[in-house]
Amino acid sequence: MKKLSVALSAALLAGTAFVATARAGDDITITSWGGAYQDSQRKAFFDPYTAAGNKVTEAEYNGEIAKLRAMVEAKNVTWDVVDVDTQTALAACAEGTLETIDWNKLGLDRSKYIGADIQDCAIPNIIYSTVIAYDTTKLNPAPTKMDDLFDLQKFPGKRALQKSPFVNLEWALIADGVAPADVYKVLGTPEGVDRAFKKLDTIKKDVVWWESGAQPPQLLADGQVVLASDWNGRFYAAVKTDKKPFKIIWDRQAPDWDWWSIPKGTPKLEASYAFLKYASDAQRMADQTKYISYGPSNKDSSPLVDPNILPDLPTAPDNMKTVLAVDPQFWADHGDELRERFNAWLAQ
Mean pLDDT (whole number) for 77-97: 94
Q: Which phi and psi (to 5°) does residue 128 adopt?
A: -115, 175
| 110 and 23 housed in the same domain | yes
Of 274, 229, 275, 221, whose CA–CA distance to 246 is shortest? Answer: 221
Burial 107-139 (b: 16+ CB within 10 A, else e): ebeeebbbbbebbebbbbbbbbbbbbbbbeeeb
> Residue 196's Cα: distance from chain center in Å?
23
Q: State the CATH number of the domain containing residue 310.
A: 3.40.190.10
Find out whether 217 and 228 touch, Cβ atoms under 8 Å. yes
Q: What is the pLDDT of residue 214?
A: 87
Query: For residue 7, is pLDDT > 70?
Result: no
Neighbours of 169 (CB within 10 A): 25
Task: Give the total number of structural domains in the chain.
Answer: 2
How do residues 17-73 score in pLDDT, each as one tens digit?
A: 333 344 445 689 999 998 788 999 999 999 999 999 999 999 999 888 899 999 999
Amino acid identity at 160: A
pLDDT tens-digit map of 91-104: 899 999 999 999 99
The CA angle 63-213-224, to the nearest 5 degrees, is: 155
Q: What is the pLDDT of residue 328?
A: 85
Question: For residues 115 and 124, what is the distance between their CA atoms, to the nearest angstrom?
Answer: 7
* Together in a domain, 248 and 307: no
135 and 64 share one domain: no
Residue of 173, 124, 168, 146 whose CA lies nearest to 8: 124
pLDDT at 4 over 60: no
Q: Which of 22-26, 77-81, 170-174, 179-183 comes out lowest in average pLDDT? A: 22-26
- Which residues make Cβ contacts (< 8 Å) with residue 77, sequence separation at least 6? 71, 263, 264, 265, 266, 267
Q: Note the pLDDT tens digit of each residue in 286-301.
A: 999 999 999 999 999 9
Among residues 10, 3, 36, the alpha carbon closest in space to that of 236 is found at: 36
Do 77 and 114 belong to one domain?
A: yes
Averaged over 319-329, what is the pLDDT? 92
H runs (alpha helix) in 28-134:
35-41, 47-51, 65-73, 86-94, 103-106
Q: Are residues 327 and 7 in contact, defined by beta-carbon separation less than 8 angstroms?
A: no
302-320 residue pLDDT tens: 899 999 999 999 988 899 9
Alpha helices in the chain (DSSP H): 4-9, 35-41, 47-51, 65-73, 86-94, 103-106, 168-175, 183-187, 190-201, 215-221, 232-240, 269-279, 282-288, 328-347
CA distances from 99 to 4, 81, 199, 263 (A): 22, 10, 41, 6
The vertex-226 CA angle with 221 and 228, nearest 5°, equals 80
Tell me: do 169 and 50 sit in the same domain.
no
101 and 12 co-located in one domain: yes
> What's the pTM?
0.81
Distance, CA of 217 to chain centre: 18
Q: Is 155 in the same domain as 276?
A: no
The pLDDT value given to residue 9: 44
* Domain of residue 306, residue span: 4-127+256-317
Pick from 239, 231, 259: nearest CA to 309: 239
* pLDDT exceeds 70 at position 11: no
Same domain as 237, residue 177: yes
SS (H, E, C) 175-187: HCCCCHHHHHHHH
Same domain? For 117 and 66 the reply is: yes
321-342 burial, b at 16+ Cβ within 10 Å, e below that, comes to eebbbbbbbbbbebbeebeebb
- Name every residue whose Cβ is closer than 8 Å to that of residue 168 and which is 6 or more positions away in sequence: 161, 162, 200, 229
pLDDT digits (tens, 9 = 90+) for 102-156: 999 999 999 999 999 989 999 999 999 999 999 999 998 999 999 999 999 999 9
- Strand 207-210 with 246-261, pairing: unpaired
With beta carbons less than 8 A apart as the criterion, state whether 95 and 227 touch.
Answer: no
Assign 79 a pLDDT band (cuts: 50, 70, 90): very high
- Position 10 confidence tier, pLDDT thresholds 50, 70, 90: very low
Q: Are residues 8 and 115 in the same domain?
A: yes
Q: Of 157 and 25, which is predicted with more confidence?
A: 157
- Residue 110 and residue 205 in one domain: no
* For residue 207, pLDDT beyond 80: yes
Kind and range of the H or E run holding 56: strand 55-60
Question: Measured between alpha carbons, how far is residue 166 from residues 119, 183, 250 in Å?
Answer: 20, 13, 17
* Residues 159, 237 share a domain: yes
More confident residue, 336 or 104: 104
